[in-house]
Amino acid sequence: MLTGIDFTHDPGARSWVVSANAAETDFPLQNLPHGVFRRRGRHEAWRGGVAIGAQVLDLAAVVASGRLSDGLERTAIEAASRDSLNSLMALGRPAWRALRALLFRLLRDGAQEAVWLSECLVPQDEVEFALPAQVRNYTDFFTSRHHMLNAGRIFQPNAGPLENFGWLPIAYHGRASTVEVSGADFARPRGITVDGEGRVGFGPTKALDYELELGAWIGPGNHRGAPIAVADAEEHLFGLTLLNDWSARDVQRFEALPLGPFLAKNFLTTVSPWIVTLEALAPFRCALPREPGIRPRCRT
């Protein structure tokens, strides 16, 4: 299971990368999120990087330096340096934790490696990003009671809470082929809609919308039909990211019942270029709030 706080969460630790110590940065030494990048406007290979302040640490350049010793840390950083993070995520938590500890030590103020490691930094304002990993499966969940109620009111304002929500995860599966990195261009979707007078027509959506959601990146998987115990679930969770779930609401309103969304929601989902590891978020964990008196309505 995921353990608690260690030396990589020291709030007083500072980096020799000066911009990582700024109060307003999203990328201090304690974060170290992973992504895939290249210099903008150049025909370079995509490769893995880690955000540190206003810079990206080029992990492919670190590996190419030949200065790393063999072992789990080297295996992990080599996997993290590739053009997709799938192989890193497949290694599992011991490798993820070892890599985080290595990067923290390399980037911490006073590290002797700073002399040569500074040559492996690329300014963030000079790069472009790719999708961090190849998305082979994608499931969209209701994640809270508030989400369930608010989403339901879009199409059925007078409907009550869903009876099954208190008992099982409510989700739909698919759309993996249209997941893109944040900022991706897309054509305004077209589909069949019905107006207030019941007239059916075809054309571009007039109700383009998105929901800001939380994405979870899964590492080691399981064989089809082989369950993962709830107690072991965190061992499969690599990290979290911000996600925009795009929708054509007018198309969705006409096509969704009874089977759910089709064209209205399969044209785009965008994710942040950075994946924040579960280890980095350890200091911010808190108990899930529960409203008193809310219980499932169905009988067992």
Q: Are strands 121-123 and 55-58 parallel, antiparallel or unpaired?
A: antiparallel
Question: Which residues neighbour 176 within 8 Å (Cβ) at sequence distance 6 or greater?
Answer: 135, 136, 137, 138
Helix 72-80 and helix 93-107: axis angle, to 10°?
A: 90
C-beta of residue 148 within 8 angstroms of C-beta of residue 142: yes
d(CA 37, CA 219): 20
Q: Are strands 237-248 and 269-271 parallel, antiparallel or unpaired?
A: antiparallel
Pick the closest to residue 57 from 90, 31, 75, 94 (CA basis): 31
**Could you write out the DSSP letters of every residue in 26-75?**
S--TTT--EEEEEETTS-PPPEEEEEETTEEEEHHHHHHTT-PPSSHHHH
CA diameter of the chain = 72
| Cα–Cα–Cα angle for 279, 237, 133, rounded to 5 degrees | 100
Question: Which residues neighbour 246 within 8 Å (Cβ) at sequence distance 6 or greater?
Answer: 186, 208, 209, 210, 265, 267, 268, 269, 270
Give me the sign of the Cα torsion angle 214, 284, 36, 129.
positive
| Cα–Cα–Cα angle for 16, 110, 31, rounded to 5 degrees | 50
Residue 34 appears among annotated catalytic residues? no
Active-site residue among 43, 147, 173, 223? 147
Number of neighbouring beta carbons within 10 Å of residue 162: 16
Which pair of tokens denotes residue 172?
A: 């739909």
Q: Please give the positions annotated as active site.
A: 147
